[in-house]
């Protein structure tokens, strides 16, 4: 399942933009950027949905990747745009101040660097929270559909309330991606699936801490006989 999802994400999201960049044609590069957001966002939502099914011990299947991407593509595109635009703005600020020679430029660049890392700490929870919201784990009053504003707010609360935990998982995600990218084949075969599982694990651990999910069963403890019950 992880290999199938990862290969799909790599073939659909990575290969077309890579071909466009290799061609160095401005129109193709611009189309590749649009492709990443319009197609990559929904497909990544579907990947995190499959990871959620695996973590929930539900019944993950390959079709769930596409069905989830199709049902919630609008919010997935919007979330991908928010993540991408803010990341690009912060990166541009870092580059701008690093290339300037006035006093304090390095300090300002460092501050923007910390802001970018903190934003990525928030991004770690965005997709798992959006998936959890659509799965009914995080429900709004009256059963209203989830809003992106709530996803962003909840991710901020999680990142601020557990900065050490979040930093460890962010580092684990970045190291996993870097190691798989270094192998090339590993990125195509396992990249998307493993990264989605790592971020989903972090998100579910926080949901357990906040009481939205029950504590996982202790498989190392003694078996407990609940007995027979009539309902």
**DSSP string for residues in 90-141:** HHHHHHHHHT--STTHHHHHHHHHHHHHHHHHHHHHHHHHHHHHHTTSS--G
The pTM score is 0.87
Contact 173, 51 (CB under 8 A): no
What is the pLDDT, as a whole number, of residue 230? 44
What is the pLDDT, as a whole number, of residue 74? 93
What is the pLDDT, as a whole number, of residue 220? 58
What is the pLDDT, as a whole number, of residue 183? 83
Give the up-direction half-sphere exposure of residue 47: CA atoms within 13 A in the CB hemisphere: 28
What is the pLDDT, as a whole number, of residue 229? 46
What is the pLDDT, as a whole number, of residue 206? 93
What is the pLDDT, as a whole number, of residue 231? 45
Q: Compute the distance between CA of residue 54 and CA of residue 198 in angstroms, rounded to an integer.
A: 12
Q: Compute the distance between CA of residue 223 and CA of residue 59 in angstroms, rounded to an integer.
A: 25
Would you give per-residue pLDDT tens digits along the chain (231 residues)? 889 999 999 988 888 878 887 787 888 888 888 888 999 999 999 999 999 999 988 888 899 999 999 999 999 999 999 999 999 999 999 999 998 878 888 899 999 999 999 999 999 999 999 999 998 888 766 667 788 999 999 999 999 999 999 999 999 889 888 888 888 788 889 889 999 999 999 999 999 998 888 887 665 556 555 544 444
Between CA 71 and CA 76, with CA 73 as vertex, the angle to 5 degrees is: 125
What is the pLDDT, as a whole number, of residue 92? 95
């Amino acid at each position: 399942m992880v290999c199938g999802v990862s290969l799909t994400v790599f073939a659909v999201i990575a290969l077309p933009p890579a071909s466009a960049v290799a061609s160095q044609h401005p129109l193709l590069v611009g189309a590749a950027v649009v492709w990443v957001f319009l197609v990559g966002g929904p497909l990544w939502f579907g990947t995190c949905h499959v990871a959620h099914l695996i973590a929930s011990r539900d019944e993950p299947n390959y079709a769930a990747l596409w069905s989830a991407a199709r049902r919630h593509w609008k919010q997935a595109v919007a979330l991908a745009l928010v993540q991408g635009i803010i990341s690009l703005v912060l990166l541009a600020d870092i580059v701008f101040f690093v290339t300037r020679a006035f006093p304090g430029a390095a300090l300002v660049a460092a501050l923007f660097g910390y802001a970018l890392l903190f934003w990525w700490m928030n991004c770690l929870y965005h997709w798992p929270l959006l998936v959890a919201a659509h799965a009914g784990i995080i429900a709004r009053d009256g059963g209203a559909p989830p809003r992106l504003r709530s996803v962003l707010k909840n991710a901020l609360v999680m990142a601020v309330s557990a900065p050490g935990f979040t930093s460890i998982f962010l580092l684990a995600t970045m190291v996993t991606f870097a190691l798989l990218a270094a192998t090339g084949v590993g990125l195509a075969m396992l990249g998307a699936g493993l990264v989605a599982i790592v971020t989903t694990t972090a998100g579910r651990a926080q949901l357990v801490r906040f009481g939205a999910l029950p504590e996982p069963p202790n498989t190392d403890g003694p078996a407990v006989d609940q007995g027979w019950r009539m309902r």
